[in-house]
Amino acid sequence: MLEELEIRDLGPIRHALLTPAAGMTAITGETGAGKSMLLSALKLISGGTADPGRVSAGAKESWTQGVFAVGGDAAADPDSDAAGDSSAATRDAVEPAVVCIARDAGVAPQDGELFLSRTVPVSGRSRAVVNGRSVPRALLGDLAGELVTIHGQADQLRIASPARQREFLDMVAGDERELATYRTAWDALCAIDERLERMEHQEASARQQADYLRESIERINRADPQPGEDEELKAKRSRIENAADIAQGVSGALAALDASQVSADADEASASELINHAVQALRSIRADGDFNELADRLESVNADLSDIVYSLARELDVEDNVDDLDEINARIHELGELTRRWGPTLADVIAWRDKAVFDVEDLDASPEKVAELKAERERLFSDAMAAADALSEAREAAARSLAATVTGELSSLAMDGAALNIRVTRRGADGGNGVGKGKTPTWPLDANGRDDIAFLFTPYEGAPELPMGKSASGGELSRLMLAMELSAADRHAGSEAPMTFIFDEVDAGVGGKTAVELGRRLARLARTAQVIVVTHLAQVASWADAQFVVTKEPPDADDDAVGVVTTVAAVQGDGRVREIARMLSGSESEASLDHARELLSSSRLGDAADLVA
C-alpha cells in the first residue's frame, strides 16, 4: 500500500507530498493542471523509462519517492525472534512476494516499509534507490510490479499479452497447487528430454570420448593397482638394493647389544643383562634415596632395549631375493605410467576409473539405454499431461465464472451489451505423445501447461469479438479493467501487502447515474485494495476517502521557474465541498454547494447488499 508519494522538480511540480488514504483517493483538478505528472512519478518509481525533458525548468534533476507498507519486517530481520523461530522456507511461505524479492536483493523492509526512489538528472543516467541503497532499475520494476497496478491510457494494454492474461486468470482461479504440481512434472520431463537429446545426437567428439574412457578403464583394470602399492614396492626395492649394508649394520648393532644373536659361541654379557645387574644392585640398597626410582627407570629402558634387539634380530631373518628385483622394477614402472596419466597417486587413478565407468554410461548411446530412457520419457509425459489437464480444468472453471461476473459489472458501467469472453483452449486436444507435428519435443506442453488463453472483448452488442486492446477505447478499457479487478477483489482481501490500483481515464465518456455507479464500484474495490483514481467527475470523486486537488498557479516573482507551477493539496471539509461544487457546475454558487454536500453525504457504501450492488 502506498503511504506517501513525494515529488520534486518534475514537470510543473516543484514540490508535492501526497499521503493517499488506505481506501480510495481521488486526484482532481482542471484539465492540463498537471495530473499526468503524478502518474509519471509513479511510473518512475516503478522502473519506467526516465525522460530528462520532464525535469522542471531551472532544476538540475527531478526526484520522486514512494513509501510503501509491505509488512514482513520481522521475518526479513535475521536477528529478530521471529526469524530465529522459522526456517527460510517457512518465511517464504508466509511473506508477501514483494518482501521476498526485496530480502533476496539485500534491501529488506525497514519497520515494514519499502522506500522506492528515482533521481533523473538533466544530463546523465538516472539513479534508482531502495531503502537508501542504489539498485538496478529492473529491481524497481520487480518490486513495484507486486505493489502497484496502473490502469491508464496505455498501461492497461499490458493485459493484452497472453502471459499477463494467464497470470490474471491463475490468480483468480487460485490454482497454486495445480500449477506447482504441473511444474514439477514439467521439470522432470525437460530433464529427461535433455538427456535423450544428448544421447541421440552425440557428436564425433562425444563418441571419441567414450572410446577413450573405455580403453583407459580396460588398461587400469589390467594393471589392477592397489592403493599405496607403488610405495610398498619402492621400499622393498630399496631394501634389496641395500641388503649388504643393512645386514652389516644390523649385525654390528646386535653384536654390541647382544652378541648371542649374532654368534652362538659368544660369551659376553648382553646389554640387557648388564642393565639387570645394575637394577638388582640399586634395589639392594637399604638407605634412603631415589634408588628404587632409578631402578624403575632402568627397567623401562631395558624393556625398550629388549624390543629393539627383537626387531633387529627379525631383520636378520628376512631373506630378500635379489632375483625379484627386475620384477619389482617392472611393476613400479607399470604403476608409474598409470599415475603419470591419471594420478598423481594410485588412489587418484582408482577414483578416476570408478568415475569413468559412470561417465561411459551417459556417453554410450546404446540402443538398449535409449529405449529405456524413451520408455521413462513416455511415463513422465503422461504424468505431465495429467497435471496439465487438472490445471486446465481449474482455469476453465475460473474463466467461466470471471467472464460472467465481469460482463455483469460492465452493464453497470455504461457499457450495456459489452461482454468479456475468456477462451481457454487446450493444445493437442486430439491426442499425441508430444513428439512430431513439427513442434518442439514437448508439444503440446510448455512451462505453463497446455492452454492458449485469450481475453476477448465485445464493446457493444453486435460488435465483433476481438482481443483486448484492439476492440476498446482508453476509457472503455479502463472500465473493463475496473470490472476485472472488482471481480477478483476477494483475492486481495487479507493480503499483508495490498495492491495499489491507479485508474486514469476510467470516467471517459461517463456521466450521470453511470458516474455514480462507477464511483461506487471504485469504492467497493477500495475495501480490499488501495485505489487512486484521476477523475474529472464529482460523482466519482465524492466516493473517495481522501481527495487531492492539482492546481496551476503563476510562479512567484522571485522564482526562476519558467511558466506555470503546479501545486497538489489535500482538501477536506468545506474545501472539499467547494472542489466538488466546482467539478459539478464550475462555480461555487449556493445551489452547487448544496448539491456537493448532498453528493458527498450520499456517496457512502452502506450494507452488504450495497457492497455487491
Please indicate whether residue 40 or residue 556 has the higher confidence score (pLDDT). Answer: 40
pLDDT(261) > 80: no
- If we measure between CA atoms, which residue out of 64, 149, 48 comes closest to residue 98? 149
Q: Looking at residues 275-304, what average pLDDT do you find?
A: 86
Is residue 532's pLDDT more than 90? yes
Cα–Cα distance between 337 and 453 in angstroms, integer?
65
- Among 107-111, 250-254, 448-452, 509-513, which range has the highest average pLDDT? 448-452
Question: Helix/strand/coil (H, E, C) string of 244-265?
Answer: HHHHHHHHHHHHHHCHHHCCCC
Question: Is 439 a residue whose pLDDT tops 50?
Answer: no
> Residue 423 pairs with which residues in a beta bridge?
454
Average pLDDT, the chain: 83
- Per-residue pLDDT band at 485 (split at 50, 70, 90): confident
Residue 593 C-alpha cell reads as 454547494
Going from the C-alpha of 208 to that of each of 205, 213, 342, 360, 503, the distances in angstroms are 5, 9, 18, 11, 64
Q: Which residue has the cell 608409474?
A: 336
Cα–Cα separations (whole angstroms), residue 138 to 160, 168, 505, 592: 22, 22, 27, 48
Residue 478 CA: distances (Å) to CA of 44, 159, 518, 544: 21, 11, 11, 18
Q: Distance between CA atoms of 430 and 234, rounded to whole angstroms?
A: 73
Cα dihedral 250, 256, 258, 261 in deg (nearest 10): 40
Checking if the pLDDT of 586 tops 60, the result is yes
Sheet holding 546-553, edge to edge: 133-135, 127-130, 113-121, 61-69, 2-10, 13-18, 565-571, 546-553, 24-29, 530-534, 500-504, 148-151
pLDDT at 370: 77
Task: Report the C-alpha gap between 260 and 316 in whole angstroms.
Answer: 13
What pairs with residue 568 in β-bridges? 550
Mean pLDDT value of segment 292-321: 81
pLDDT band at 508 (very low <50, low <70, confident <90, very high): confident
As a whole-number percent, the residues of the chain with pLDDT over 70 amount to: 84
- CB neighbour list of residue 279: distance below 8 Å, 6 or more residues apart: 295, 298, 299, 302
What pLDDT is stored for residue 80 in this prediction?
A: 45
> 588 falls in which pLDDT band (50, 70, 90)?
confident
Please tell me whether the peptide bond between 464 and the residue prior to it is cis, using omega within 30 degrees of 0: no
Q: What are phi and psi of 558, to 5 degrees?
A: -85, 0
Residue 65 and residue 136 in contact, taking contact as beta carbons nearer than 8 Å: no
Decide if pLDDT at 434 tops 60: no
Q: Whose CA is closest to 291, among 272, 310, 278?
A: 278
Residue with cell 457493444: 460
Chain CA centroid to CA 283, Å = 82
pLDDT tens column, 37-88: 888 899 999 998 899 989 988 899 999 999 999 875 544 444 444 444 444 4
Instruction: Please state the rounded mean pLDDT for residues 235-261.
Output: 79
Q: Are 477 and 157 in contact (CB under 8 A)?
A: yes
What is the reported pLDDT for 119? 96
Q: Rounded to an integer, what distance in angstroms lies between the CA atom of residue 466 and that of residue 92?
A: 40
| Pairwise pLDDT comparison (342 vs 159), residue with the higher score | 342
| Nearest residue to 534 via CA among 10, 20, 109 | 20
The β-bridge partners of 61 are 121
More confident residue, 601 or 560: 601
pLDDT at 179: 95
If one counts every other C-beta atom within 10 angstroms of the C-beta of residue 567, the result is: 18
C-alpha cell at 284: 639392594
> What is residue 607's three-state secondary structure?
coil
